Amino acid sequence: SNVGIWRNGMFHLRNDDGSTTFVDWGGGSDLPVSANWDGSGPDNVGIFRPSTGQFHLRMDDGSLTLIDWGGGTDQPVAGNWDGGAAANVGIWRDGTFHLRNDDGSATYVDWG
> Which tens digits make up the pLDDT trace of 37-96?
999 888 999 999 999 999 999 999 989 999 999 999 999 999 999 999 999 999 999 999
Rg (CA), the chain: 14
**pTM of the predicted model as reported, rounded to 2 decimal places:** 0.90
Q: Identity (one letter) of the amino acid at 30?
A: D
Q: What pLDDT is stored for residue 78 in this prediction?
A: 96
CB neighbour class for 34 (10 Å; exposed up to 12, middle 13-18, buried from 19): buried
Q: What pLDDT is stored for residue 42 in this prediction?
A: 86
When divided into structural domains, the chain yields a total of 1
Q: Is the dihedral of CA 71, 77, 80, 86 positive or negative?
A: positive
Q: What pLDDT is stored for residue 112 in this prediction?
A: 85
Domain extent for 92: 4-110
How many CB atoms within 10 Å of residue 100? 20
Q: Which residues contact 85 (CB under 8 A, 6 or more apart)?
A: 39, 40
Q: What pLDDT is stored for residue 28 in this prediction?
A: 86
Report the alpha-carbon distance of residue 50 to residue 109 in Å, rounded.
Answer: 21
Cβ(78)–Cβ(97) below 8 Å: no
Task: Reply yes or no on whether the pLDDT at 36 is more than 80.
Answer: yes
Task: Reply yes or no on whether the pLDDT at 97 is more than 90.
Answer: yes
Check residue 16 and report its DSSP letter.
Answer: T
For 49, 55, 59, the CA distances from 21, given in Å and listed in that order, are 23, 22, 16
